[in-house]
Amino acid sequence: MKITLDSTPANAVDTACLVIGVFSKAALQGSADLVNQASNGALQKLIDSSDVDTSWKCATLLHGLPGVAAERILVMGCGETDKFDAVRYDLVCKSAGKFLRDHAVTSAHFCLNDIQASDLNEHWRLRQAAVNLDWSNYLYTATKAPKDDDHEPLKAASFSAGDELQPALEQARGFAAGYRRSRELGNLPPNICNPAYLESEAREIAGLYANVDIEVLGQEEMAALKMSALLAVGQGSVNEPKLIVMKYRGKDDTSPPVVLVGKGITFDSGGLSLKPGPNMEQMKFDMGGAASVIGAFEACALMQLPVNVVCVVAAAENMPDGKAYRPGDVLTSMSGKTIEVLNTDAEGRLVLCDALTYSEQFNPAALIDVATLTGACVIALGNHASAIMSKHDDLADELIEAGQQAVDRGWRLPLWDDYQAQLKSLFADMKNVGGMPAGSVTAGCFLSRFTEGQRWAHIDCAGTTWKWGGDEGSTGRPVGLLTQFLINQA
């Protein structure tokens, strides 16, 4: 989708569709006010007669309003002024995008960003409008041709703003590309998106930027580094596991990087601790953490942020097989710590522990892993927030703040040592499961044992990276949170 700026007054913009916003029981403002004046009060009359619904997220399409150059006007209801906030704004933009998609509009001029709302500055409003518009015009076509009656997505959008807001548009392009990459990877089936596929995607990104380097470790290289926990998870699959390492240089070499580590289980059958059949197909999105760190990394490279970033993806497929690892196995991780496997379905922490130990060599300014780690996280926070765990209050605060700014929210869970006792094993330094209570926290506690001395945070995106229900599919999250975090570091 092509996005541009155009500061022509709303009533005079020559476009297939002009998108404006109106609040309930409030005076028209900005572009809506201009359109109303140009049409001699026609818009206000339609609102007064309830022909235009001003309720939050409601859409009304008007044709041929006198005095207005646009062919059509899409009026988006913003609801009550005092309830309006960043989350509501985002959803208005997404609804507008979806409406345009459903009504075969392929180019539009967007004025929602000129809405005045407290706390939401114009840079932010423009950026989020463009990001959400692009987000709602993503269409999965990799393994399914669009049907004849599927409308074409929006091709071009201009936004009501002057050139001074180009930087906001630059950011929007970064977020949009990151979300798209992440969503596509999440949606692709596991017979296509396997560890080698993640490698090829990373190589493609590395090929696009002179200041991105890539190195990929296969089974042999990982064996030489004694990454036995990661290798154990992959040993039941014919698809070789990979450790994918991308480095982005946005600053001088001496500046410590932000290191993003992603869980890239391209299919999680549970292994010998096999998952139940129903919904097992959903475990193709068990590489959602990897997809989001790849997406945020790409966003960063596209924006050429002045920050150093390393992206580490632990890619493997968890399958049952004669060669598969078993419950009862004791693994010696790269760190030297031993792990008793009680459940082969708690595989994410096993690939991550070696990837986190490997990441120490980068001397990270912040070390952040992102993973669809626990079903318990879906139960705790649902689809609305990713779980954030860290012993570093400042890092946790920065991540939560970034999530708020990008409307891709996270919420903190504790990592108190009190929970560590649940990981006690008779036969190893720890076991890989902590039992029923606080499943997301004990998974975090497990990882904490491999990040001692690091400024580390863990993000569990099991509930946020995938949307269940009618329009099921990958959301790309938490690309927004991570990308904003990188912007804030720069």
3-state secondary structure at position 113: helix
Amino acid symbol at 412: R
Q: Site residues for Zn ion, window 330-389 (CB under 5 A)?
A: 348
> With binding defined as CB under 6 A, does residue 462 bind ligand BES?
yes
**Which of 127, 173, 249, 349 is flagged as catalytic?**
349
* Per-residue DSSP letter, 15: -
Q: Give the sheet arrangement for strand 430-431, strand by strand.
A: 330-332, 338-340, 430-431
Identify which of residues 376 and 447 has a Cβ nearer to ligand BES in the complex: 376
Identify which of residues 131 and 376 has a Cβ nearer to ligand BES in the complex: 376
Identify which of residues 173 and 458 has a Cβ nearer to ligand BES in the complex: 458
Applying CB under 6 A, which part among 87-95, 205-213, 239-247, 341-349 lies near ligand BES?
Answer: 341-349
String of contacts with Zn ion for each residue 257-286, x by CB under 5 A: --------x--x-----------------x
Angstrom distance (rounded) from CA 458 to CA 445: 10
CB 390 within 8 A of CB 458: yes
Identify which of residues 130 and 387 has a Cβ nearer to ligand BES in the complex: 387
Is the bond into 153 cis (omega within 30 degrees of 0)? no
Provide the sign of the torsion angle of the four alpha carbons 428, 432, 434, 436, taken in this order: negative
> With binding defined as CB under 5 A, does residue 408 bind Mn ion?
no
Q: Annotated catalytic, 349?
A: yes
Q: Provide the minimum distance between the beta carbon of 339 and Zn ion in the complex, in angstroms, as a whole number.
A: 16
Q: Which of 268, 298, 340, 354 binds Mn ion (CB under 5 A)?
A: 268
String of contacts with Zn ion for each residue 188-207, x by CB under 5 A: --------------------
Angstrom distance (rounded) from CA 195 to CA 443: 23
Applying CB under 5 A, which part among 45-53, 159-167, 240-248, 265-273 lies near Mn ion?
Answer: 265-273
Instruction: Select the binding partner of residue 376 from ligand BES, Zn ion, Mn ion, none (C-beta < 5 to 8 A, by kind).
Output: ligand BES
CB 294 within 8 A of CB 204: no
Q: Annotated catalytic, 226?
A: no
Q: Provide the minimum distance between the beta carbon of 352 and ligand BES in the complex, in angstroms, as a whole number.
A: 11
Q: Provide the minimum distance between the beta carbon of 445 and Zn ion in the complex, in angstroms, as a whole number.
A: 17
Amino acid symbol at 85: D
Provide the sign of the torsion angle of the four alpha carbons 359, 360, 363, 367, taken in this order: positive
Angstrom distance (rounded) from CA 181 to CA 190: 16
> With binding defined as CB under 5 A, does residue 288 bind Zn ion?
no
Q: Which of 37, 338, 343, 420 binds ligand BES (CB under 6 A)?
A: 343
What tokens does 219 get? Answer: 């089974």
Angstrom distance (rounded) from CA 307 to CA 488: 10
Instruction: Select the binding partner of residue 433 from Zn ion, ligand BES, Mn ion, none (C-beta < 5 to 8 A, by kind).
Output: ligand BES
What tokens does 76 get? Answer: 């988006």
> With binding defined as CB under 6 A, does residue 186 bind ligand BES?
no
Cα distances (Å, whole numbers) of residue 392 to 14, 386, 444: 52, 17, 13
Q: Site residues for ligand BES, window 216-275 (CB under 6 A)?
A: 268
Instruction: Select the binding partner of residue 241 from Mn ion, Zn ion, ligand BES, none (C-beta < 5 to 8 A, by kind).
Output: none
> With binding defined as CB under 5 A, does residue 317 bind Mn ion?
no
Angstrom distance (rounded) from CA 300 to CA 383: 25
Q: How many residues are given for the chain?
A: 490
Q: Provide the minimum distance between the beta carbon of 346 and ligand BES in the complex, in angstroms, as a whole number.
A: 4
What tokens does 171 get? Answer: 């950011």
Q: Which of 90, 345, 369, 408 binds Mn ion (CB under 5 A)?
A: 345
Q: Which residue has the tokens 């002179």?
A: 210
Strands 107-110 and 156-159: parallel
Angstrom distance (rounded) from CA 117 to CA 94: 18
CB 235 within 8 A of CB 227: no
Identify which of residues 268 and 317 has a Cβ nearer to Mn ion in the complex: 268
String of contacts with ligand BES for each residue 396-435, x by CB under 6 A: -------------------------------------x--
Active-site amino acid positions: 275, 349
**Given the rule CB under 6 A, which residues bind ligand BES?**
268, 286, 343, 345-348, 372, 374-376, 378, 433, 439, 462
